[in-house]
Structure 1
Amino acid sequence: MTFNTKEEVQHVLNAYHIKKGLYYRVEKSSPTLIVARCVNSTCDWRCRAAFITKSQKWELRKLSGEHSCSSPIITQDHVNLGYVYIRKSILSFVESNPSISIPTIITHIKSAKGDTISCCKAWMAKQKPIEDLHGNWEQSYRDLPKLLSAMSGFLNGFVVEKQTRPLYNQQGEMVHHYVQFHRVFWTFKPCIDGFKYCKPIVQVDGTFLYGKYKGTLLVVVAQDGNNKIFPIAFAIVEGETAEAWFFFLHYLKRHVCPQDGLCLISDRHESIKNAYARQGSGWTPENSVHVFCIRHIAQNFMRHFKNTEQKKLIINMSMYLASLITLICFTIFQHY
């Protein structure tokens, strides 16, 4: 019996043992050899497969018959049901729906194989098909400059501002002719043009990225005449630092909302306050006003006072004041 790859050998071993409800362990593994035997020391089952240079195939060289034991392990999650084996079972599902949830994968394996796998196994099994479809993390970062360049060339009015920093090796020496991604800001022409017809209010916030290299996604939204959210600019930065927020607010003012009379809404993060007040950001008390989001104020209130009723009063009071200010502005607008 021959196989094209070592992975195929392992897949067949796993499939056989999962189906029979038996267990094996790998006794020896190398690029050209795999030796497996039963986990039960009283059982003589043993398997040996090797890579044959002449045929460039993996060949089953020794198989000592059937297992002479019963399973000594009772578990819902089969030891040999690894993420590589699971990946083959869910490949078609991930290809048709890359956002398939981990619970759905667990349910599928339970239905198909009769075993309840862990969330960790399901997550790891999903990563390889995702990588095959969209590339790995390293390649994605390498492709980022080309992608941004293509968007700049083919999307009319697309705006991108990126920052890099020197790359250092493990010895602390600078690697010449290479740089490391640091930050990127981008927006689209429809976002810039559409903001002209929105209320003179922008709200900024950030959320953590949970990929391999972490970071933070910064987003700014406005509100149109129908009270609908209108995204206008985005950035990926190293975190919610003062430098990162200054980078974001500076280019937001330059490219999207250079007009005066804007209201900037944010949470009470010190980095945002420092970036807003910093010279060169483009935001000053003369051309804008910086206020805090009522939702964040209410959350901070609850941390200190734990009073739900008073929290509702604070929110209702703020909503009433906002409605009153809107009505006054509308009345003035009609008058003129």
Structure 2
Amino acid sequence: MLAVKRYSIKRATEYKIVESDQLRYNAQCIQFEPDCNWSILISYCRKQEKWEFRRYTGLYTCMQTSMGDKTIMYLPAMYNKLTENLSLGTWVQLVTHPCPGSADTVMFHRIFWTFPPCVEAFRHCKPLISIDGTHLNGKYDGTLLIAIAQDGNANILPIVFVVVEGETKEAWSFFLSYLRQHVTPQPEVLVISNKYKSIDGVLNAEGSLRKPPHAFQAFCTRHIIANFMTHFENKDLKKVLINTVYSKSQREFTHYFGRLRGKNVAITNWLEEMPRSQ
């Protein structure tokens, strides 16, 4: 897969993945038929316990360079644009890895950046941040992580941006450590997130400054409700859960929470996995 990527980059061409799983990898030129017949297929032979070429049509025959060169230039151009403003306070951390088989080439791994207006604005926002990630689409995989804040008028403000290899514990640690160092050093900041084990592991690690009394953790309502529907598919109880998490008093919360817990053991156990304070 790495060889296909490097060949495509060198030729400034685009390809698409037709099929990719534990047993097959099939890719072909984005201009496949009639302009180009480039394709490659490898599959895993269980008997011999090795990967084998099933099809390879040779070099690209098309001349298209529409998106390949632009995609190749995207990350370097983005990095250069960010570093132009370093003197104004923009902070960028780029991490690369050596490229296999090439002593003079490095591969992009992670990047973190934040802008001076974001850092300054957070000082005047509510002491909370919401963090989440989304998968990048296209030839190059990866995940965009982002943290947002909220001002007194409930306006949303993005404060940091990170591109990483995926939502791993190491990636979230990279994200949260630089976030705290450069944007949210204040004590008692509330961190709102999905109930990912990777995030939870970083926030509650031994010696972490992202857990009480330094900081506090809460779970995102939208994610909680989505997870509830995945497990139980009950629209009526979904409304009760929404009323529970938006309760404005302990009495109101106890009323709705009791209705949920009284339904069945499975729902009770699911709810008890989350501390009520979160």
Q: TM-score, normalised by structure 2?
A: 0.63
Higher share of residues assigned helix: 1
**Which consecutive unaligned segments of at least 5 residues does structure 1 have?**
1-79, 85-126, 170-174, 325-336
**Which runs of structure 2 are paired with 1:196-207 in the superposition (5 Å)?**
196-207=123-134
Match of 1:292 in 2: 219
Alignment map for 1:45-124 (pairs within 5 Å): none
SS in 2 for 1:240: coil
Q: Does structure 1 residue 149 correspond to structure 2 residue 86? A: no
RMSD: 2.7
Offset, 1:214 = 1.1
2:93 is equivalent to residue 161 of structure 1: yes
Go from structure 1 to structure 2 and tell me whether the alpha carbon gap of 1:182 and 1:280 turns closer, same or farther (over 3 Å shift): farther
Q: Deviations over 1:53-97 (max 9, x none)?
A: xxxxxxxxxxxxxxxxxxxxxxxxxxx9x689xxxxxxxxxxxxx
In the alignment, the residues of structure 2 paired with residue 137 and residue 281 of structure 1 have an alpha-carbon distance, to the nearest angstrom, of 38
Which residue is 1:225 aligned to?
152
- Equivalent residue pairs, number: 193
Percent identity of the aligned residues? 41
SS of residue paired to 1:272: helix
Say if 1:176 and 1:148 are closer, same or farther in 2 by CA, change over 3 A: farther
Pick the structure with greater CA Rg: 1
CA contact (8 A) 1:208 1:217 kept: yes
- Deviations 1:115-170 (CA, angstroms, capped at 9, x unpaired): xxxxxxxxxxxx96556xxx4222323445433322324xx11111121122212x
Deviates more, 1:270-279 or 1:181-190: 270-279
Q: Secondary structure at the match of 1:310?
A: helix
Residues 252, 279 of structure 1: CA spacing in aligned structure 2 closer, same or farther, 3 A cutoff? farther
Question: What's the counterpart of residue 185 of structure 1?
Answer: 112
Gaps of at least 5 residues in structure 2 are 1-32, 37-63, 252-278
Contact 1:275–1:281 (CA under 8 A) maintained in structure 2: yes
- Asked whether the 8 Å contact 1:249–1:281 carries over to 2, the reply is no
1:180 is paired with a residue whose SS is strand
Give 2:256's aligned residue: none
8 Å Cα contact 1:250/1:281 also seen in 2 = no
Deviation track 1:197-247 (CA, whole Å, cap 9, x = no partner) reads 111110000001002111000010011111111111110000000000000
Pair 142,259 (structure 1): closer, same or farther in 2 beyond 3 Å = closer
Alpha-carbon distance in structure 1 between the residues aligned to 2:99 and 2:67: 28
Q: CA deviation at 1:278?
A: 2.7
- Structure 2 CA distance for aligned equivalents of residues 316 and 229 of structure 1: 23
Could you say which residue in structure 1 is the equivalent of 2:245?
318
